[in-house]
C-alpha cells in the first residue's frame, strides 16, 4: 500500500514549502513570508485542482528531485526549467500524472530564479499561525528541504485543469519597479532622490527571500542621525549605511532602523522574485492611482 507523501531525493540550493503566507502578525514580529512569486504559486495550484492558498514547493536556481509515494498529478511553473519523469522529458507549466515511485526531476532555472512545484492535495505539513510557509528570518514553519526528507500530501481537492498552454509571464530582462517616495525620503539629498529614480541598478547575487539587494550608485543621506526602529512593510526600499537600496521581500523584518526612501508597488514584487543576479533594475515613480489601495506587512 502506498501513502500520500513525497520523498526528497535532491533538495537543490534552497527548496522551501510556501503558500500565500501569514499576513496580519507583524505586531508580533512575524513577517508575512509565503511564495515570493504568488501568481506562479496560484497558477500551479489551479493546474492540479488545488485551492490557490495550498502549500507548494519553491525552488531556487538549481531545482530539485522528488519521488512521490503515490500516484499523483503535479505541475511545475514559475521560472522555466526542464522537467523529467523517470528520465523522460515531460511538459513544464502543465499538469503531469506521476505514478507511485516515479522520479520527478525539476531542472535548474533556464531563466528567472524560482520554480514552483504543486502536487494535487498540496504539501500537508503542520501549519504555524495559519500558514505552512517556511520563514527564513523568523524560523517559523518547516525547515528548508534536505535530501531524504519526506513530506505528507493532502487529499486531492478537485479536478485537474485541462489546458494546452498556461499564461506564464516571462522572467524580466529588465526589472522596472514602480515606487512612491517616502516615508523617509527627506533623510536623503535631492541628488540622491533623483539618482534613485533615474539611475540603473543591478540585482546583487547577495539577494535572498528577505530582500532584493541592488548594486549601483550610492544614495547620499542628508540626515546622519540614528533613526529609531519603526515598522517595515513589504516592498520597502531600505538604505543601509553602504548606500545601496534593498527591496524588502516576503521574509523581511517587521521593524528596522535604516531609513526607507521609497516603497515598491506590491504588484511588481513577483517580477522581483524572478530577477536573476545581474538583471538591470530601475525605480520609476508612480502616483497613488497606479500604486494600489493597500500595502501589507
**Local confidence band at 292 (pLDDT 50, 70, 90 cut-offs):** low
Asked if 191 contacts 222 with a C-beta cutoff of 8 angstroms, the reply is: no
Q: Which three cell numbers stand for residue 182?
A: 517616502
Mean residue pLDDT across the chain: 94
Tens of pLDDT along 70-122?
999 999 999 999 999 999 999 999 999 999 999 999 999 999 999 999 999 99
93-102, 127-136, 152-161, 168-177: segment of lowest average pLDDT: 152-161
pLDDT of residue 159: 76
pLDDT in tens, 53-67: 999 999 999 999 999
Report whether pLDDT(293) > 80: no
pTM of the model: 0.94
Is residue 23's pLDDT more than 80? yes
Residues 191-216 pLDDT 10s:
999 999 999 999 999 999 999 999 99
Q: Is the pLDDT of residue 164 over 80?
A: no
**Which residue, 119, 178, 129, 181, is CA-closest to 152?**
119
The answer to whether 36 touches 273, Cβ cutoff 8 Å, is yes
Q: Distance (Å, rounded) from C-alpha 21 to C-alpha 34?
A: 4
- More confident position, 140 or 167: 140
**Banded model confidence at residue 1, pLDDT cuts 50, 70, 90:** very low
The pLDDT of 260-271, averaged and rounded, is 97
**Residue 208 in contact with residue 289, Cβ under 8 Å?**
no
Side-chain half-sphere CA neighbours of 157 within 13 A: 20
Question: Span 281-289, mean pLDDT?
Answer: 89
| 8 or 225, higher pLDDT | 8
pLDDT at position 90 is 95
Domain ranges within the chain, ordered by starting residue: 5-152, 175-290
Comparing CA positions, the residue from 182, 284, 281 lying closest to residue 239 is 182
CATH 3.30.1330.90 fits 175-290, yes or no: no
Amino acid at each position: 500500500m502506498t501513502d500520500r507523501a513525497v520523498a526528497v531525493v535532491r533538495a537543490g540550493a534552497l527548496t522551501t514549502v510556501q503558500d500565500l503566507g501569514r499576513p496580519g502578525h507583524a505586531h508580533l514580529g512575524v513577517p508575512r513570508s509565503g511564495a515570493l512569486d504568488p501568481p506562479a504559486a496560484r497558477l500551479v495550484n489551479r493546474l492540479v485542482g488545488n485551492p490557490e492558498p495550498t502549500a507548494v514547493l519553491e525552488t531556487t536556481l538549481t531545482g530539485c528531485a522528488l519521488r512521490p509515494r503515490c500516484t499523483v498529478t503535479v505541475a511545475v511553473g514559475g521560472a522555466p526549467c526542464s522537467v523529467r519523469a523517470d528520465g523522460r522529458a515531460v511538459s513544464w507549466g502543465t499538469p503531469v500524472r506521476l505514478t507511485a515511485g516515479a522520479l520527478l526531476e525539476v531542472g535548474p532555472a533556464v531563466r528567472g530564479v524560482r520554480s514552483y512545484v504543486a502536487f494535487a492535495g498540496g504539501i500537508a505539513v503542520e501549519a504555524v499561525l495559519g500558514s505552512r510557509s517556511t520563514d527564513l528570518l523568523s524560523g517559523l514553519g518547516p525547515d528548508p528541504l534536505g535530501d531524504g526528507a519526506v513530506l505528507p500530501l493532502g487529499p486531492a481537492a478537485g479536478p485537474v485543469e485541462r489546458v494546452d498552454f498556461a499564461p506564464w509571464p516571462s522572467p524580466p530582462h529588465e526589472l522596472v519597479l514602480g515606487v512612491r517616495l517616502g516615508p523617509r525620503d527627506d533623510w536623503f539629498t535631492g541628488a540622491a532622490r533623483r539618482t534613485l529614480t533615474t539611475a540603473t541598478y543591478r540585482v546583487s547575487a547577495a539577494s535572498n527571500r528577505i530582500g532584493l539587494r541592488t548594486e549601483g550608485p550610492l544614495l547620499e543621506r542628508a540626515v546622519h542621525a540614528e533613526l529609531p526602529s519603526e515598522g517595515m512593510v513589504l516592498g520597502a526600499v531600505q538604505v543601509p549605511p553602504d548606500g545601496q537600496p534593498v527591496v524588502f521581500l516576503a521574509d523581511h523584518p517587521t521593524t528596522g532602523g535604516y531609513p526607507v526612501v521609497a516603497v515598491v508597488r506590491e504588484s511588481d514584487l513577483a517580477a522581483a522574485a524572478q530577477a536573476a543576479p545581474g538583471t538591470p533594475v530601475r525605480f520609476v515613480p508612480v502616483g497613488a492611482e497606479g500604486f494600489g489601495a493597500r500595502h501589507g506587512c
